[in-house]
Amino acid sequence: MAGALALTACGGGASAPTTTAAPSVTETEATKEMEATTAESSAEEEKETEAEAAAAPGEAAGFEEFPIGDDQEVGPLIVSGVYFQPVDMEPAGNSLSKEEADCHIEADITAGPKGTTLGYGVGDFVPWLKVKAYVQKHGSDKVQEVAFMPMNASDGPHYGANFKFEDGLGVYNVKFEVAAPGNDYLLHVDKETGVTGRFWTEPLVAEWDDFEWAGPQW
């Protein structure tokens, strides 16, 4: 009997199993809310990172574009005119050298809503166009004409050229004429794969009548 009592006493000295209380409904809801907030913050940070990456090419290259005027929708196109410091280009000889020019003028031409009838997505760069610029200072009879070349920069493709304002500082009329691709650029017209639109037959015109050339802004 004494031995049995001793055994019982020994068994009674062992640690009792620990029981963990289940989290309350309030604690569970708080945890879920915290996880949702963390997920939202991560998503916002990812969007900000993507936006910064998208803006990086031009900024990293160290240049700022200045608008000639507001973007214009002409036919199936959105035409944006901008300028910044003159640049070096290859192959050389297709435009004024950086040393001879006042600035570099660009025509950023993308597809607008009507461009989808030609098979472009809205915002797509439209290639194979023939683009000319006509620049005339108010009060002057001189009209400068320059052919824009298709080219690529760190921020993507565009049409452009280095340019010198021969009449100096002042207010200018700037006009871009955009001719459609020639016969070397084809469109599908069959029922299964064809597009419903057709290229324009006369040059499209984007024009700004009050562009002020005040000299380099860079």
Q: Residues 166-216: pLDDT tens digits?
A: 999 999 999 999 999 988 899 999 999 999 999 999 999 999 999 999 999
Q: Has residue 41 got a pLDDT over 80?
A: no
CA–CA dist 172, 138 (Å, integer): 6
Q: Does the pTM exceed 0.75?
A: no
Which residues neighbour 83 within 8 Å (Cβ) at sequence distance 6 or greater?
A: 65, 66, 68, 103, 104, 105, 106, 163
**What percentage of the chain exceeds 70 in pLDDT?**
72
Name residue, tokens 């691709």.
181
Residue 109 and residue 159 in contact, taking contact as beta carbons nearer than 8 Å: yes
What are the DSSP E strand ranges found in 68-216?
72-74, 77-84, 103-111, 130-137, 143-153, 156-163, 170-179, 204-213
At 8, the pLDDT band (50, 70, 90 cuts) reads: very low
At 94, the pLDDT band (50, 70, 90 cuts) reads: confident
Residue 89, classed as helix, strand or coil, is: coil
CA–CA dist 134, 142 (Å, integer): 10
pLDDT tens digit sequence for 100-141? 999 999 999 999 999 999 999 999 999 999 999 999 999 999
pLDDT at position 3: 47
The DSSP element (H or E) to which 6 belongs, if any, is: helix 2-12
Q: Which domains does the chain have, with CATH numbers?
A: 67-213 (2.60.40.2480)
